[in-house]
Amino acid sequence: MSEEQTIDVAELGEKIVRVIKTIYDPEIPVDIYELGLIYDVMVNEDYDVKVLMTLTTPNCPVAETLPKEVEDKVKTINGIKDCEVEITFEPAWTKDLMSDEAKLELGML
């Protein structure tokens, strides 16, 4: 079995989350993971990643660039073959999706 075939999917998931946590919404000083914009991260047996995410609003000024930034950064992880980002507005994003860390950072706790 080659090294590529022995990649730990849970470990890969953690690496993906760590990379996503380096991406910030330009209007809010909190990373997009803590903001609750990432709904799901899926990795298939071919190490293709699909990220299901939302934006704070459908008219978000970074609607064009933020998903591309997520794709590009996830693709830099060793072992990942491809990354697709799907934007959804179901369910709509609300402040309730933010982590306590994000709420604290924004003075909401």
CATH at 43: 3.30.300.130
Q: In the chain, how many domains are there? A: 1
Tell how far CA 1 is from the center of its chain.
Answer: 30
- pLDDT of 57: 87
Indicate whether 26 pLDDT > 90.
no
Residues above pLDDT 70, as percent of the chain? 94
Assess if residue 99 is contained within a domain.
no
Task: Determine contact, residues 64/31, Cβ cutoff 8 Å.
Answer: no
β-bridge mates for residue 49, sequence order: 43, 83
Give the integer Cα–Cα distance in Å for 97 and 92.
10
Assess if residue 84 is contained within a domain.
yes
Assess if residue 102 is contained within a domain.
no
Q: What is the DSSP letter of 93?
A: P
Assess if residue 106 is contained within a domain.
no
* Secondary structure tally for the chain: helices H, strands E: 3, 3
Assess if residue 8 is contained within a domain.
yes
